[in-house]
Amino acid sequence: AVIHHADAVGDLAHDAEVMGDEQHGQPLIGLQLLTGKPVLYVCNVEEGNAAEGNAMSKRVAERAKGEGAVSVVISAAIEAEVTKEFEDAVAYVGNVPVFWFPKYRRSLKPHPQHFTFTPGYRSFYGAYLLTTYRSYWTPELQTELRLDYRLERGPGVGPIVYYDFKRFGKTTFDYYYTHDLDPGTNIFSGGPIAEDRDRFKFSYDARPWTNVSIKSAVNWQRDSQFRRDFFEEEFQQDSQPISYLEVQRLWPNFSLNILAQPQVNSFFDTIERLPDVRFTGARQQLGASPFYYETENSGGWYRRNYNGLPNFSAWRADSFHQILLPQNFFGWLNVTPRASGRYTHYGEADGLGATTSSEDRFVFNTGVELSAKASRVWQTATNGLLEISGLRHIVQPMVNYSFTPKPGRSPAELPQFDYEQLGVRPLPIDFPDYNSIDAIDTENTVRLGLRNQVQTRREDGVDNLVDWWMFTDWRLDPRGAQTRFGDFFSQLDFRPRSWLTLNSEVRYNFSEGVLKEANHGFVLQPGTRWSWALTHRFFYQDPLLPPDSDNNLFESRLYYRLNENWATRITQRFEARDGTLEEQYFTVYRDFRSITTAVTFRIRDQRTGPVDYTAALTLSLKAFPRFPVGADRALPQSLLGF
């Protein structure tokens, strides 16, 4: 009550006097007020007045005095060169002193030039030594020179240049060449790969003004397997990187996007966009009316390039407009009816793979989205086992209906540039979220969803004890091979303790009575000493996917810190479908105060060919680590140097 009174009269909540039961009452605790803690006022003044203070610091002092607090004036100068000085310093190897310095001065900034080495052995490489010579020329310019040697594959060399243009962005040039003694066979053509193999990468990212961004990337490689053979981490993140130039201009309610996406590598299927210009109007209110409007307009020249198949190209212009009427009833029910129209013009397709002529297509869509949110609170609910201190249950049912009558042209009559791609998650059923422009077809579907959350208070604030999503599609008028009901999806996160998380993802097919997908796992992390994560991924063979795409995969990640100096991590992946232990990582970490070392051993069974064995030694300075925090957990191959 006193908090509400203070707010009503314009006083600070910090000044409100809380009496009696309200001092420890749940309503006050539930506010999680920062003002319940000591307040620190900071005044920033010029250096010349910092010692004695000025008019601004005096006002801070008066305010502090009025609150019964104290104020302190501190004068601080920023040191231009960050260094550390030692006197009577002794260097040790283990416990043995090996050198004495009467005085030693060391900069804590990155050394202008230094080497990093990653020695190791891999079955596919033989013994290898990956060497990088790093140079910090200026705060804006840094370079790296890689000098690598793989006993059975030959030498590799390549520079990297990083430059920071400040306001006008950052850029990276990355080139790598190797004379491969055993390049193998091209998986596309079946012919031999040339011994001279290289790749080039370029990236640029700038925001010269707050409402303008420029991004660009070039990813060229001489053959399709280069990244897989020598840059495994990059390959796993993106096996077929694209090249593009994108410029975006933002306004409060609108945006203009210009994209150029050429084909740089002919052995990868690519949709060229030269260019793709898009003007978007965000959802916005129409004056003082209750209606809202949104729009997307695009146009450009597109070419679909296949590897080994005839290509085709065409011009396309598309314009989409939608009106919405958001309504709220009873304070808890949200109803948003909508209606939209879309016009698309296609030029006559060109190329050996062209089969379509000039076409115009009109699409009408209407629908309504309903959602509600209800909650109930049990302030006094407690449970020590589940770390429960009060409970709040939130339930959110959702219904989304979408109706699209048969368009003027079916997808088979149009060139397919933005088409539906096969995936395991359902596509959006309403516009503009559904963006497969060339694949738009008749639709009469209701998406049913339900979300349940159970929340409680824990040390870090409000935490989700349970978060459970469920949804499915009810197709009122199925088309083609569609069934009446789509797959049922369930996604559940359960945190019975702050250090224990269990999650589940399930996809079930009603018509076949088959569990299509099931992903389950838990993460156990009771402290900083050890953690264990176990996951199981099951995927049912889909006839639309390539053979052997089904999975019954178990993965375990165990980390244990023996003491302040030693730690270990073990990662294993087992495919129960055929009983193959696909991959194992064993890493031992040693902390040498300023340097951390890791010895990693990997065993990989790829089913075809011999088992791949790899071992590597990695060193990293704590002050300037080679890898981001957690990189060795998410991408353990980074410790192998490739």
- Reported as a single tens digit per residue, the pLDDT across 496-526 is 998 999 999 999 998 888 999 999 999 999 8
Token code pair at residue 447: 């998406």
Sequence-ordered list of residues with C-beta below 8 angstroms from that of 26, at least 6 positions apart, any chain: 379, 380, 390
pLDDT at 267 over 50: yes
Answer whether 303's CB lies under 8 Å from 271's CB: yes
Give CA–CA dist 629/24, Å, rounded: 39
- 104-151 pLDDT, tens digit per residue, is 776 666 567 888 889 999 999 999 999 999 998 998 999 999 999 999
Question: What is the percent of the chain where pLDDT is above 90?
Answer: 62
Banded model confidence at residue 621, pLDDT cuts 50, 70, 90:
confident
Q: Is 430 exposed, middle or buried (0-12, 13-18, 19+ CB in 10 A)?
A: buried
pTM for the model: 0.77
| Listed residue (158, 171, 164, 170) closest to 198, CA to CA | 158
Q: What's the pLDDT score for residue 592?
A: 82
Banded model confidence at residue 75, pLDDT cuts 50, 70, 90:
low
Q: What's the pLDDT score for residue 163?
A: 96
Banded model confidence at residue 51, pLDDT cuts 50, 70, 90:
low
pLDDT at 26 over 50: no
Token code pair at residue 192: 């031999």
Number of residues that make up the chain: 642
Range picked from 88-97, 223-232, 289-298 for highest mean pLDDT: 289-298
- 329-366 pLDDT, tens digit per residue, is 998 999 999 999 999 999 999 999 899 999 999 999 99
Answer whether 62's CB lies under 8 Å from 68's CB: no
| Listed residue (352, 268, 329, 269) closest to 304, CA to CA | 269
Longest dimension (CA), the chain: 87
Least confident of 290-294, 304-308, 418-422, 540-544: 540-544
Beta bridge partner(s), residue 477:
none
pLDDT at 37 over 60: no
Q: What's the pLDDT score for residue 220?
A: 96
Residue bearing the bigger pLDDT, 302 or 94: 302
The percent helix, strand, coil of the chain (3-state, each to 5) is 10, 55, 35
Sequence-ordered list of residues with C-beta below 8 angstroms from that of 96, at least 6 positions apart, any chain: none
- 310-330 pLDDT, tens digit per residue, is 899 999 999 999 999 999 999
Asked whether the CA dihedral 64, 68, 73, 74 is positive or negative, the reply is negative
Q: What string of DSSP letters covers 365-395? A: EEEEEEEE-EEEEEEEEEETTTTEEEEEEEE
Banded model confidence at residue 92, pLDDT cuts 50, 70, 90:
confident
Give CA–CA dist 135/112, Å, rounded: 5
- 152-180 pLDDT, tens digit per residue, is 999 999 999 999 999 999 999 999 999 99
